[in-house]
Each structure stands twice: as C-alpha cells, then as structure tokens.
Amino acid sequence: MQQKKEIINKLRSSNLRPTKQRILIAKKLFDRKETFHFTAETLNKEINRKGQNKISLATIYNTVEAFKRAGHIREILTNNCKSYYDTNIKSHHHFYDPDSKKLTDIDYQEVIMKKIPNPPKGKKIKDLEVVISLQKK
C-alpha cells in the first residue's frame, strides 16, 4: 500500500519526474498487497481498460524500462518471446504453472540449498534463482 506522497517520493528519489502517467502506473504496480508479475501488454491492458485512462503504449514501455533501471521492478526469466517483470525486487523464487502460464512467488527462505557448485574462477555468485515447474497431480 503506497500513498500518492510515497509514490512521488519514490519517483523523485530515482530522478524520475512524477508525471500523471508515472504516478498512475506506479499506483497500479505498487499499490497492492501481492506481488505483480506482468508484461508490457498486460500492464497496458490494465491501465487502458474501459477507456478510463489513456496512456500510450510507448509510455508504458518507457516507464517500465525506467522503473527497471531504478530498481523498482525486476525482469524475470521466461521461456517465451515477451519480457516479464516482477514488482517483488527481493531475491526470491517462483512456482511456474504451464497451464495458466502464471508465476507465484516463493520466499527466499522457503528454499534452502544443501549443496551448490563453486563458481568458475574469477567469478562469484550474484544471485540464485529457483523455478519450480508444476503439473497437474
């Protein structure tokens, strides 16, 4: 839950002018209890449904890219030619249900590794992501 003031601060703090469009998109993304997994297309539909608001698709793309650069959202791994984003910027894992094509968050501490390989020399581990694919029982 984020008030308009908080949203404006969030934008200001990342050098993004709090325009009408960015505030509206930020509300849609961040003013919710659950993590939101979305694509440019789904976000555009959410925003521009019923002709209530009107934000151009170019602005949707620009804003998503700006929010990503600012670290307010992160891009997630998928297997189709469409970029997916996640409002949960903490390290965490996912269930993936191929039937609904939906991701569900798994808290980082819900997965504990007993053994992982050493990184190649000269490299260290930045992040570790687990995707658990599901199927009907």
Pick from 19, 75, 90, 101 the residue near a copy of itself by CB under 8 A.
75
Binding status of residue 89 toward a copy of itself by CB under 8 A: no
CA atoms within 13 A on the CB side of 92: 17
Find out whether 47 and 23 touch, Cβ atoms under 8 Å. Answer: no
Choose the stretch contacting a copy of itself; rule: CB under 8 A; options: 1-9, 20-28, 53-61, 92-100: 92-100
Backbone phi, psi, residue 57, to 5°: -60, -35
Return the one option of a copy of itself, Zn ion, DNA, none that residue 88 interacts with (CB less than 5 to 8 A, by type). Zn ion
Nearer to a copy of itself, 70 or 76 (CB): 76
Over the window 40 to 79, marking each residue x when it contacts DNA by CB under 7 A and - when it does not, the resulting string is xx------------xxxxxx-xxx-x--------------
Nearest distance from C-beta of residue 44 to a copy of itself, angstroms = 16
Pick from 36, 61, 105, 106 the residue near Zn ion by CB under 5 A.
105
Token pair belonging to 39:
């694509």
Binding status of residue 116 toward a copy of itself by CB under 8 A: yes
Find out whether 56 and 43 touch, Cβ atoms under 8 Å. Answer: no
Cα 61 to chain centroid distance, Å, stands at: 13
For residue 117, CA distances in Å to 37, 63, 91, 128, 133 come to: 30, 38, 19, 12, 22
- Which residues of the chain form contacts with Zn ion (CB under 5 A)? 35, 86, 88, 105
